Amino acid sequence: MPSRPFVRALIWGAGAMLVIVLAYVLLTLRAADAPAPGGGFDPAAFVGAPPKLDAPNVATEMEVVDTMLALAEVRPNDFVVDLGSGDGRILIAAARSHGARGLGVDIDPARIAEAQANARAAGVSGRVAFRRQDLFETPLAEADVLTLYLTQEVNLRLRPRILGQMRPGTRVVSHDFHMGDWRWDQRSLVRTATVYLWIVPARVAGNWTLSAGGRSVPLVIEQSNQNFSGTAGDARIEQGRVTGDRIRFLADLGEGRQLFEGRVVGNRIEPIEPGAGWHAARAR
């Protein structure tokens, strides 16, 4: 049978071990709540498991950012939407250098917190906002410019929403990834990077009535993004193209090939040159 001094020593040792374990747990909890170096905090410590990303978080080099904004001809008070906004650098540059307003969307709350802090530091938090949101659920109708650095697959999934929601003449710029058979309107190379620009075309497919030279003929348009073909009366449409709300095509209505250049205004096409003697209206 153990002696009483031995039992007391055993109990004391177990108690000391319990105190050490509790102290370790408390120190670990305090370390998790401690501020990150530099007096800030690490947002990633509060978000739990990382969210599932549609595209990897890779920052765009500032030289590429400048090219994207220049190619899109961002103007003061343009509303720029950046899908997958990361640390916010594209919108911050758009606001500081071009006077634009903007909304950045990212699924990762750590990136949203980072972008908001960067916007405050740059003095543009009143012009740009960042929102945690699925990029496939983000409305695009109010955007003047859409900026992307995603993946080829995501671009293709976004394309129907871009063409369906964005207004004719709005601009889309993408770093490195194109839009499949929707051919870019302009392209720029920045060292190893490629920047693509698309101008969202008016939707002109369907049946119209073309009035020119005192006669009216059916105008049937078959559109593929910014290009189109079809017929004007018995004549084939040639070189049909839509750039924003601008439309141009060649057709021979019986007096030789004629160039038609106009602007799509709702359900009408008006000639660019006043007094050109033609117009078109969408058939009811």
Q: What is the pTM of this model?
A: 0.77
Q: Which residue type sits at 139?
A: P
In degrees, to the nearest 5, what angle opens at C-alpha 172 toward C-alphas 169 and 181?
Answer: 95
Q: What is the torsional sign of CA 172, 176, 180, 184? A: positive
Q: Which residue type sits at 239?
A: Q
Task: Give residue-wise pLDDT tens across range 40-69.
Answer: 334 333 333 444 554 455 567 899 999 999
Q: What is the mean pLDDT of residues 100-119?
A: 96
Task: Give residue-wise pLDDT tens across range 186-234.
Answer: 999 999 999 999 999 999 999 999 999 889 999 999 999 999 999 999 9
Q: Which residue has the higher pLDDT, 18 or 232?
A: 232
